Amino acid sequence: QVQLVESGGGLVQAGGSLTLSCAASGGTFSNYAMAWFRQAPGKERGFVAAISWSGGFATTYADSVKGRFTISRDNAKKTVYLQVNSLKPEDTAVYYCAARPYVSGTRYYRDYDYWGQGTQVTVSS
């Protein structure tokens, strides 16, 4: 059983940056592909980024965040990060960290077994 706790959200002006963190406990963190999803009010939870557990930590991004967001992981610290730059008002959402016990991440939230409670990111115009 893996427990995930996100942090780092907040209120930021358009064009600003944040670093989101997701700390894991339980399980063997290095055996999980990790991902970030987000959910805005009235919308479905959508894929943001994913990172594999090995193989050079392959990453994949939603088109809407490519070039602005960067996912990374530190297996020694059992933490996955999401660096979010050049924020836009449409990035406003609750950001969730997720884990699945496979090498690679996917874009589908149903493929993930463990979820954090979320951290709010609000971007003002």
Predicted pLDDT at 1: 85
Q: Which two tokens stand for residue 66?
A: 């490519």
Predicted pLDDT at 30: 87
Find out whether 8 and 119 touch, Cβ atoms under 8 Å: yes
- Three-class secondary structure assignment of 63-95: CCCCCCEEEEEECCCCEEEEEECCCCHHHCEEE
Predicted pLDDT at 54: 77
Predicted pLDDT at 35: 98
Predicted pLDDT at 55: 66
Q: Residue 39's pLDDT band (boundaries 50, 70, 90)? A: very high
Q: Residue 56's pLDDT band (boundaries 50, 70, 90)? A: confident
Q: How far is CA 1 from CA 43, 88, 96, 113, in A?
A: 28, 35, 17, 9
Q: Residue 59's pLDDT band (boundaries 50, 70, 90)? A: very high
- Dihedral sign for Cα atoms in the order 28, 29, 35, 41: positive
d(CA 119, CA 19): 11
